[in-house]
Amino acid sequence: MARRAAIAVSIALIASSALTACSTENPASGSAGAGGGDSDGKIVLGFAQVGAESGWRTANTKSVQEAAKKAGITLKFSDAQQKQENQIKAIRTFIQQKVDVIAFSPVVESGWDTVLKEAKDAGIPVILTDRAVDSKDTSLYKSFLGSDFVKEGKSAGEWLTAEYEGKDAPVNIVELQGTTGSAPANDRKAGFADVIKGDDKFKITASQTGDFTRAKGKEVMQAFLKSQKDIDVLYAHNDDMALGAIQAIEEAGKKPGTDIKIISVDGIKDAFVAMAAGKINVVVECNPLLGDQLMELTKKVAAGESVPARVETEEGVFPQDKAEAALPTRKY
Ligand code: AHR
């Protein structure tokens, strides 16, 4: 029994030092207590980020770190490198460290019930940010803060149907999906499919994951260009994959934006630059600047106040002719 207890203590110590090593800002000093703040009385927020897979994600991380500093909240930050098991480990460490609030952006939608129940049993409120989970038990988290990804997919589909209105020829579409099993990949796919399904001329001829990264976007697009004869449109679930695909299209001797129309999601500066150069046709915005709203929610849940179950961000759609004018005002 004593040996088992000693092993448990060592595991807890290893886990907690692994997390401290991941902390990038405001590492919590001293002990924290659920609801009690750190030794300075500041609220301690444990934030388990997805990774650093995209320009969007980098902007999101920066927004959270800056907002925590501004709000006087001690942030324990962990980067899961796009692996669910790392995120679960980070959440368990936050529970052991008795942080006041846990926020996380789930890598994938499923498989969270057990760890969320552990947080609930420890009395630590959880906020979902950016991505949702598919847990039936909504009492496992206090709020969701982020975008309506289905709406984003629908906006992408609506741009396409308007673009090809009155034209009869088949429109061959290839799709670069985000991370398999993630909420934005599932929802952006579903929203887009829902809009184009009413018209037979739209055909998704190939659809594969590019894991939301530039490198994979390029690699998968290279494969599409080899396997698909006539590609009219690329629908990329994020800008980084679209930017990687643009390289593949150019290397294949084709003109992105003209020979192959490109629809993308996010709205990072690099995508606006590519769009102003005629290489992307439309960008559906997804706002990563969630930091300030997350800190507001954190303060409220730490104080035991009630918060809305869902807080959605305002987003727009930017066709190519608006890119140049919008570029100087892009914040991420
Ligand atoms: O969850 C938001 C998505 O994740 C963004 O669209 C993508 O760029 C990121 O990696």
Domain of 261, in residue numbers:
149-286
Query: Which two structure tokens, joined as six digits, stand for 265?
Result: 């999601």
Same domain, 264 and 230: yes
Q: What is the pLDDT of residue 17?
A: 34
Same domain, 111 and 174: no
Same domain, 42 and 132: yes
Ligand 1 atom closest to 268 (CA) = 8
Same domain, 229 and 132: no
Q: What is the pLDDT of residue 207?
A: 98
Residue 41 lies in a domain: yes
User: What is the pTM (predicted TM-score) of this model?
Assistant: 0.90
C-beta of 210 in contact with ligand 1 (< 6 A): no
C-beta of 129 in contact with ligand 1 (< 6 A): no
Same domain, 214 and 111: no
Q: What is the CATH number of the domain that holds 296?
A: 3.40.50.2300
Beta carbons of 90 and 80 less than 8 angstroms apart:
yes
Q: What is the pLDDT of residue 26?
A: 34
Q: What is the pLDDT of residue 41?
A: 87
Q: What is the pLDDT of residue 9?
A: 38
Same domain, 224 and 107: no
Give residue-wise pLDDT tens across range 132-142.
999 999 999 99
- 268, 252, 218, 200: CA torsion to nearest 10: 80
Same domain, 125 and 244: no
CA–CA distance, 32 with 309 (Å, rounded to integer): 26
The three-class DSSP label of residue 310 is: strand
Same domain, 169 and 276: yes
Residues of the chain with pLDDT under 50: 1-33
Q: What is the pLDDT of residue 36?
A: 66
Q: How many domains does the chain have?
A: 2
Same domain, 231 and 277: yes
The three-class DSSP label of residue 34 is: coil
Q: What are phi and psi of 186, to 5 degrees?
A: -60, -50
Same domain, 136 and 89: yes
Same domain, 189 and 271: yes
Q: What is the pLDDT of residue 148?
A: 98
Q: What is the pLDDT of residue 1?
A: 36
Same domain, 164 and 211: yes
Q: Over the Cα atoms of the chain, what is R_g?
A: 22
Q: What is the pLDDT of residue 34?
A: 54
Q: Which of 56, 144, 264 most suits a substitution to test ligand 1, by most atoms within 8 Å of the C-beta? A: 56
Q: What is the pLDDT of residue 39?
A: 75
Beta carbons of 233 and 245 less than 8 angstroms apart:
no
Beta carbons of 287 and 281 less than 8 angstroms apart:
no
